[in-house]
Structures are given as C-alpha cells and as structure tokens.
Amino acid sequence: MAKVLVTGGTGFVGSHSVAALHRAGHDVRMLVRSRDKVPKALNPHDVEVDDIVQGDVLDRDSLSAAVDGCDAMLHAANVFSFHPRTHATMLEVNVTGTRLVMEMASKAGLNPVIHVSSVLALLPAEGPLSADSPVGEPDPAYCRSKAEAERVAREYQQRGEPVIITNPAAVWGPHDPHRGESTGLLLAALKGQMRVVNDGLISVVDVRDVAEAHARLIDPAFAGRRFILAAHDLQFSSLLERIGELTGRRLKPLTVPHGAAMALGKAMDWIAHRTGADLPVGFEPPWVLANNAPTNASATVEALGISWRPLDDTLRDMIEWMVTEGLVSERQAGRAA
C-alpha cells in the first residue's frame, strides 16, 4: 500500500477517488485550498482524512510540503467551467498548475503520478478515441486547457517520468460536492429548462468507476501509459430519452443544427462575459456534441479488469441523490424518485 497525495480531492472525481483509494487500503494525504470543504466532500463516502496540507497547486511551498513523504500522486485539481469569465483561471490552474505539480512530483520521486485529463483533450478527432489518440486542437476554453495540460503530462512521460494519464468521458453520478456540469445538465433536463439542443455523440462514465480505476492505477507497473475511461457512447437525444423513460416523463427539447447551436452559444457567452450572468446555454457544450468521437476503452478494461456500471444505474442513483439533496422534487424525478 502507498502513501498517496491527492490534489483536487474536494471535487467530484477527486472526492470519489479519495474514497476508492481509502477502500483499497492506501494512506491518503490531501492538498486543499480550504479545509472547510473536506467534510462536505468526504462525508457522503463515510471517509475521514486527517492528513491535510492547506495550499494550492500554484504554490511551490505548499506543494513541496504536500509531496514530502508520499509515494504516489493523483492529480485531479482542475477548474471545470463553461463560463467565459473563468477562462484565464482555467488556463492558469489546469495548465500552469499541472506543470508545477509534475515538476514537484518528479523532484520528490513519486511513482506513479496520475494526471486526470479528459477525452475532451483529444478533440476534434478522426476515428475512435483511444490511448493512442494524439492531443487535439479544440476551440473552446475548457477543452483547450485540458489539451494543454495533457501536453505537459505527455512531455513528462516522454522524459521517462512515471506519469499515468487518464481520460475520463463525461463523468456522471451521485454525490457531486460542487454540482458541476453533469449535475447541472440533468437538473436542466428534469426542470424543463433544456429547450434547445444540437444532437451529437456523448460519452458517459460513472464517477465511481473512474474512482475505482484510479485506485487500481496506483501501481508503478502502469507508469507511462494512458487510459480511456469511458463506458457508454450514445446520441444526446438517446440520453434524454433514457432519462425520460426512467422518470416516466417526456423530455423532448427542440433539436437544431450544430451551426445554429454554436452560434447561439457564442452569443450567450458574449452576454455572460459582459454581464456575469450564469446562462444555461454557451458555446462549449454544443461544440463538444458537434465534434465528439466514439471511445475505445477496451485496453483499459483488459489492463485493469474493470467493469462499467450500467447507464440506468448511474442515472437512477444520480436522480435519487438529487431528490435527497433537494435539488429536484419527487414530481420532477418521477418514477426514478
């Protein structure tokens, strides 16, 4: 068993990964910006972590203290937002932070160092996304920040550093401490706020499966490899239909062409940037739906012996959690409540 430093442990993927590492018997240390966020993130998992370093991935001193005495690292710290006003922060944390984390982990001799990337970093792509896919050249800010961060991680891999890269698909599931994008998407669907969409491919994976994969990857034997974490490829309209079937509700927004959806999204981003408003439509989600590609995670399944949860289980557990948290009513959850 290893002493594992986790950055971003109070986030969605990070908190579930902390729980999975704990179940696997690893000793976890967390680097967090605020200690107050730890209980909210970990209480749903019945996990306590006492070894906490308060700091930031952009701060050398706190990173130096955090890596001291550790054997391995899971780097999940990440700013994930589609709001235009977060663009500069995303580039700083996601890219500059990753470079500093890789540098400090290398100096401390951590092995392995898992960098949590995204399938979005590989877009746009020709053919299925796999561990052999090159880094993409995406247009939107968040996707671009993930691509640039993965380039940093791959640079360290090419140097022979024991870096592992995971590329999760759209991460769905219960117990999201910050009610991020997948929670917001499902909320909008259940509350009838999703009125216009462009229909494209979406790849989904359960957050608990991502966490389990991360726990299994704390092994130097996997150093230098990349892993696609994706379970279900389906059209976005099919995802909405499945949610409708589980809830017994009709969820049928207006479907428009990709170009129209992206043009509307750019207009909404322009308004959001100037007013600070948190608008339900932006450029990045329709761009992803227009440019997404199928995933091939067969190598991940073979290497880790992992099996993905059925999509219905993910959606049902997520909706039940949202009812418990008061995010949606039992009426809005329908049969899935």
Encode pLDDT of 21-66 as tens digits. 999 999 999 999 999 999 999 999 999 999 999 999 999 999 999 9
Q: Which residues contact 143 (CB under 8 A, 6 or more apart)?
A: 118, 120, 121, 123, 136, 284, 287, 288
Question: Which residues neighbour 4 within 8 Å (Cβ) at sequence distance 6 or greater?
Answer: 21, 26, 27, 28, 29, 70, 71, 72, 73, 74, 218
DSSP state of 309: P
- Strand 113-116: give its sheet, edge to edge: 52-54, 27-32, 3-7, 72-75, 113-116, 163-168, 226-229
pLDDT (0 to 100) of residue 283: 77
The pLDDT value recorded for residue 85 is: 65
Structural contact between residues 296 and 231, judged by C-beta atoms closer than 8 angstroms: no
CA distance 280 to 112: 39
Global model pTM greater than 0.75: yes
Cα end-to-end distance, the chain, whole Å: 39
**Coil, strand or helix at 80:** coil
Model pLDDT, residue 209: 98
Query: Average pLDDT over the chain, rounded to whole?
Result: 92
Q: Which of 327, 309, 334, 8 is nearest to 175 (CA)?
A: 327
Query: What tens digit of pLDDT does each residue of 85-139 get?
Result: 666 777 788 899 999 999 999 999 999 999 999 999 999 998 899 999 999 999 8
Averaged pLDDT, 200-217 = 97
Q: Are 208 and 286 in contact (CB under 8 A)?
A: no
pLDDT digits 0-9 by tens, 290-324: 899 999 999 999 999 999 999 999 999 999 999 99
pLDDT of residue 63: 95
Q: Are strands 113-116 and 201-206 parallel, antiparallel or unpaired?
A: unpaired
Partners of 54 in the β-ladder: 32
